[in-house]
């Protein structure tokens, strides 16, 4: 064997020795691109930039949709996710973010772009501005999760000396990180294209929208952080002085006054359909400012519709994972601008209220409700969603089934009949509408979008003009300009289909909180809003077991996702036969109320990071 091996090796050695060493060693590789090749070609630089955009640090998205079921907005109707409703406390690591690898790559990109003398000046300046936009976004994501973090603006390199201390940086103050984000966006906004038709790359509009959001967050923390003095550090790494609040709110308005080229989407007469279409219509959509786009042609698609389509219409044997909660559904106010729980029982609680159709219960409510949530009695892809829990026989007697569309026996009918909808609700059956509702927002009605071989190209909207108006309304309210706040809020509400304008006297903190809750549901705002207003520990208080009684009050506890099940009335000899009643339920998998601790306001910095960098200080209450 050894002899055979030697015979094979010797010819190879002769071949290598016969090569021209210099030609061989200097041969250009065919499978990688060198720096000088990349930075001399605008198209190649754009591909690098596209990779950086692709790592944008979203938390809740249509790709990471299960995170929407962490709070009281929704129940997770999937066996593998039931645990989200079992734990009373969130982990101190939850929502944490510490990605200096990403920051380093952005800093390297900026360094290379500054030296790229073979690009046109216009292309080079745009790339630089885009990289700084992304870096600002990453620091914004860091500060809203972690508080103050080290601000690193150059690619640090270890010299292998055995002493890494020169790389270690202390945490900046929380307001210094916000100030950096705001100032960066100030410096680049006029370099970026002022073009509202650009949606998936940074523009002046996107920079201003991000600046408004960041300044609003900072202003809120400065003002409402005073209510939780325990959530602060002596060096201001966590906590913003209350004296800075006004300046941040003024910065919100300054950025708003520069915003141009965008307007509210208003193309469909039906107000609910119009609201739903904001997230589906890619045809020069005037409301959308900045997105992550998906296109079937390029192979970039997502499975949101596969995972969340109504079970009855599913194009795969799954769907229905996000079940919006009754907590959220009842938050949508009446058309007369009043709040209240859905009317399911008589005033003395002696009997159900009987409805001719399931949709009658939701009549005269904010049209955004049915633009956000698929309700019982409605359709998807022109087919009834089949959400009904069974038959009500009176005297607290119900007949139902434990499988989709199950059949059973009811009195007075000889043959078995269907006794539950093909979408449920059925308690503890995954993919069924266990709360009585499915999500509509982002759901793609395009044929094939619910199939694994096709999937959906609905985009993820990170910034849109409606939020811009609500940010301006909130900042105006905090600055004492309630008439302006009412004007901005009324624009959003009028487009939604609410017909009675709010007056300056109607604007208060509860109204600000409510409007964001219903307009921006499932768009990734709930957690951060609750944190910056210092409401999270009050609303998710870990002790309240009941459904919120006053949905228009910002401080009302809401700790568990409730449901509402519709039943058909079977009473052949009575006046209510064939009508509908609704029963308030709590999914059996919801075992503990949510408790948000003071230590959850800022995510924990891991021991590994603290050990590597002794200059870092821990976050409070951890």
Place of tokens 């509009």: 205
Q: What is the pLDDT of residue 11?
A: 47
Alpha-carbon distances, residue 162 vs 157, 158, 166, 538 (angstroms):
13, 9, 11, 48
Q: Report residue 24's pLDDT band, with 50, 70 and 90 as the boundaries.
A: very low
User: For 501-522, how does the pLDDT look when each residue is reduced to its tens digit (9 = 90+)?
Assistant: 999 999 999 999 999 999 999 9
User: For 239-275, how does the pLDDT look when each residue is reduced to its tens digit (9 = 90+)?
Assistant: 999 999 999 999 999 999 999 999 999 999 999 999 9
Counting Cα atoms < 13 Å in the Cβ hemisphere of 316 gives: 19
pLDDT above 60 for 19 = no
Q: In the chain, pLDDT over 90 holds for what percent of residues? A: 89
Q: Are 518 and 560 in contact (CB under 8 A)?
A: no
User: Which of 211, 197, 223, 377 has the alpha carbon at shortest distance from 289?
Assistant: 197
Helices and strands (H and E) in the chain: how many? 19, 14
Q: What is the pLDDT of residue 337?
A: 96
Sign of the C-alpha dihedral computed for residues 335, 336, 339 and 343 taken in this order: negative
User: Which of 478, 479, 477 has the alpha carbon at shortest distance from 504?
Assistant: 477
pLDDT above 90 for 163 = no
Instruction: Report the range of poorest mean pLDDT among 7-11, 360-364, 618-622.
Output: 7-11
Mean pLDDT of the chain: 93
Q: Report residue 436's pLDDT band, with 50, 70 and 90 as the boundaries.
A: very high
343-361 in b/e form (b: 16+ CB < 10 A) is ebbeeeeeebbbbeebeeb
Strands 288-292 and 460-464: antiparallel
Q: Which residues contact 336 (CB under 8 A, 6 or more apart)?
A: 364, 500
Q: Crossing angle of helices 204-224/174-188, nearest 10°?
A: 160
Q: What is the pLDDT of residue 1?
A: 44
User: Which of 468, 474, 499, 498 has the alpha carbon at shortest distance from 486?
Assistant: 474
3-state secondary structure at position 35: helix
- Partners of residue 300 on adjacent β-strands: 295
CA distance 373 to 323: 9
């Amino acid at each position: 064997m050894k002899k055979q091996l030697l015979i094979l090796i010797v010819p190879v050695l002769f071949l290598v020795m016969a090569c021209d060493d210099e030609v061989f060693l200097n041969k250009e590789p065919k499978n990688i691109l060198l720096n000088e090749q990349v930075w001399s070609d605008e198209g190649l630089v754009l591909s690098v930039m596209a990779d950086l955009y692709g790592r944008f640090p979203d938390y809740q998205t249509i790709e990471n949709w299960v995170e929407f079921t962490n709070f009281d907005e929704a129940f997770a109707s999937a066996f593998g996710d039931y645990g989200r409703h079992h734990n009373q406390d969130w982990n101190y690591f939850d929502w944490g973010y510490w990605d200096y690898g990403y920051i380093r790559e952005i800093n390297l990109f900026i360094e290379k772009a500054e030296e790229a003398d073979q690009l046109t000046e216009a292309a080079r300046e745009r790339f630089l501005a885009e990289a700084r936009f992304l870096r600002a976004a990453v620091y914004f994501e860091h500060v809203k999760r972690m508080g103050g973090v080290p601000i690193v603006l150059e690619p640090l390199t270890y010299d292998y000396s055995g002493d890494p201390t020169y790389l270690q940086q202390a945490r900046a103050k929380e307001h210094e990180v916000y100030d950096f984000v705001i100032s960066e966006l100030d410096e680049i906004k006029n370099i970026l294209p002022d073009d509202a038709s650009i949606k998936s790359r940074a523009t002046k509009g996107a920079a201003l929208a991000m600046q408004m959001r960041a300044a609003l967050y900072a202003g809120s923390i400065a003002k409402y952080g005073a209510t939780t003095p325990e959530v602060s550090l002596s060096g201001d790494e966590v906590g913003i002085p209350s004296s800075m609040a006004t300046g941040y709110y003024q910065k919100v308005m300054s950025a708003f006054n520069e915003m141009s080229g965008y307007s509210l989407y208003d193309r469909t007469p039906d107000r609910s359909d119009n609201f739903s279409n904001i997230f589906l219509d890619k045809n020069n959509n005037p409301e959308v400012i900045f997105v992550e786009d998906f296109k079937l042609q390029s192979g970039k698609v997502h499975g949101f519709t596969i995972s969340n389509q109504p079970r009855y219409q599913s194009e795969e044997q799954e769907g229905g994972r996000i079940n919006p909660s009754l907590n959220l559904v009842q938050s949508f106010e009446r058309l007369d601008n009043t709040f209240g729980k859905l009317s399911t029982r008589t005033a003395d609680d002696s009997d159900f209220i009987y409805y001719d159709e399931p949709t009658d219960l939701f009549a005269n409510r904010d049209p955004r409700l049915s633009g956000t949530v698929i309700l019982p009695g409605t359709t998807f892809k022109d087919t009834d969603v089949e959400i009904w829990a069974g038959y009500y026989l009176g005297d607290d007697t119900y007949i139902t089934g434990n499988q989709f569309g199950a059949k059973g026996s009811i009195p007075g009918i000889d043959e078995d009949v269907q006794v539950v909808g093909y979408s449920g609700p059925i308690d503890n059956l995954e993919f069924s509408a266990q709360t009585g509702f499915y999500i509509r927002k982002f759901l793609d009605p395009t044929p094939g979008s619910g199939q694994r071989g096709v999937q959906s190209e609905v985009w993820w909207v990170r910034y849109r003009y409606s939020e811009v108006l609500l940010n301006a309304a909130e900042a105006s309210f905090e600055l004492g300009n309630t008439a302006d706040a009412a004007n901005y809020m009324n624009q959003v509400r009028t487009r939604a289909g609410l017909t009675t304008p709010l007056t300056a006297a109607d604007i208060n903190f509860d109204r600000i909180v409510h409007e964001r809750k219903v307009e921006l549901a499932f768009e990734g705002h709930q957690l951060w809003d609750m944190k910056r207003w210092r409401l999270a520990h009050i609303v998710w208080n870990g002790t309240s077991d009941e459904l919120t009684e006053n949905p228009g009050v910002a401080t009302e506890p809401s700790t568990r996702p409730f449901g509402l099940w519709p039943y058909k009335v079977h009473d052949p000899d009575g006046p209510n036969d064939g009508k509908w009643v609704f029963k308030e339920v709590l999914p059996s998998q919801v075992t503990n109320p949510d408790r948000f601790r003071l230590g959850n306001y800022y995510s924990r910095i891991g021991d590994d990071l603290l050990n590597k960098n002794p200059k870092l200080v821990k976050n409070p209450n951890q």
